[in-house]
Amino acid sequence: MIPPSTRDLMGVAHSKYAVVVAVARRARMLSENVKNDENYRLSTVVTTALDEIMSGKITIQEDGDSQAGED
């Protein structure tokens, strides 16, 4: 797989951070399903998660209510 460009990632969400968090969460879910598999590799799980997000199979929901720095 050729890694997506930053421009492509920004088309999925408004920040690279949101994409990284979404990929990490999805990869964790996928790894729970295959962690007992002897051929398990973390890199393939992360690649699968990134593919799902870039293809639109998984969407990123951004929370507009949370704002950093407010008391």
pLDDT tens for the 71 residues of the chain, in order? 677 777 887 788 888 888 889 999 998 998 888 777 777 777 788 888 889 988 889 888 876 543 444 43
Measure the CA–CA gap between 53 and 59, rounded to whole angstroms: 6
- Given this model, what pLDDT does residue 34 score? 79
- Given this model, what pLDDT does residue 25 score? 92
- pTM listed for this prediction: 0.72
Helix (H) or strand (E) holding 12: helix 6-12
Measure the CA–CA gap between 64 and 54, rounded to whole angstroms: 22
